[in-house]
């Protein structure tokens, strides 16, 4: 049984707003924009991700992603979103709240990716901040964890800027780019986040 579980909302009705960005679950109509952005960013992303399946950028594979996304959301196991620029609805990247544990843990793991041409413009920080507001206020989680490779300076700086605390070092932690790689471990608590952003407004609500 899930403790503190909120009523399930239809995937199509979910949208989270941040500064200059908004987040929503992927849908089939996003395929071409997603495929183009991922293909153009492949060399940029693959050092930090699991090995891509041979058919990863195909429409059937994307359809399977959507089915898995919706199933995991319905079961409160993971909540995935695409990130869009508010001004023109351009797809920027994605963020996932995975490995969600309720009960006495009330914890989840953060993952994210950004298209190469959009990296370095502050979009990911704004997107994750919007997600964290939703996580700690609407979803009532207590803790969000994240990990990054020691040489991933961009990711480490992002987590530190968002208020994540470094908690440890895990040897051969994740199978990334075909090899087991060490990772730095980070986490942020509800109290850490709300201390920095005590005002909760309509930007963090689902519509």
Q: How many domains does the chain have?
A: 1
CATH number assigned to the domain comprising residue 71: 3.40.630.30
Task: Outline where 121-168 has alpha helix (H).
Answer: 123-133, 153-161
Q: Is residue 83 part of a domain?
A: yes
pTM above the 0.85 mark?
yes
- Give 144-200 pLDDT, tens digit per residue: 999 999 999 999 999 999 999 999 999 999 999 999 999 999 999 999 998 877 554
| CA distance linking residue 178 with residue 196, whole number of Å | 38
Q: Is residue 207 part of a domain?
A: no
Q: Is residue 56 part of a domain?
A: yes
């Amino acid at each position: 049984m899930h403790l503190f579980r909120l009523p399930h909302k239809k995937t199509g009705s979910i949208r989270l707003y941040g500064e200059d960005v908004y987040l929503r679950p992927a849908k089939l109509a996003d395929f071409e924009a997603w495929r183009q952005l991922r293909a153009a960013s492949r060399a940029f992303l693959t050092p930090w991700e699991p090995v891509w399946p041979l058919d990863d950028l195909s429409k059937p594979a994307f359809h399977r992603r959507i089915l898995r996304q919706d199933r995991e959301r319905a079961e409160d196991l993971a909540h995935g979103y695409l990130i869009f620029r508010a001004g023109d609805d351009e797809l920027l990247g994605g963020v996932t709240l995975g490995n969600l544990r309720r009960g006495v843990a009330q914890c989840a793991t953060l993952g994210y990716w950004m298209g190469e041409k959009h990296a370095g413009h502050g979009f990911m920080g704004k997107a994750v901040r919007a997600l964290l507001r939703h996580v700690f206020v609407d979803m009532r989680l207590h803790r969000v964890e994240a990990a990054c490779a020691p040489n991933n300076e961009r990711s480490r700086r992002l987590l530190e800027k968002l208020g994540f605390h470094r908690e440890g070092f895990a040897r051969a932690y994740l199978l990334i780019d075909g090899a087991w790689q060490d990772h730095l471990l980070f986490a942020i608590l509800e109290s850490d986040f709300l201390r920095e952003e005590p005002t909760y407004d309509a930007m963090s609500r689902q519509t």
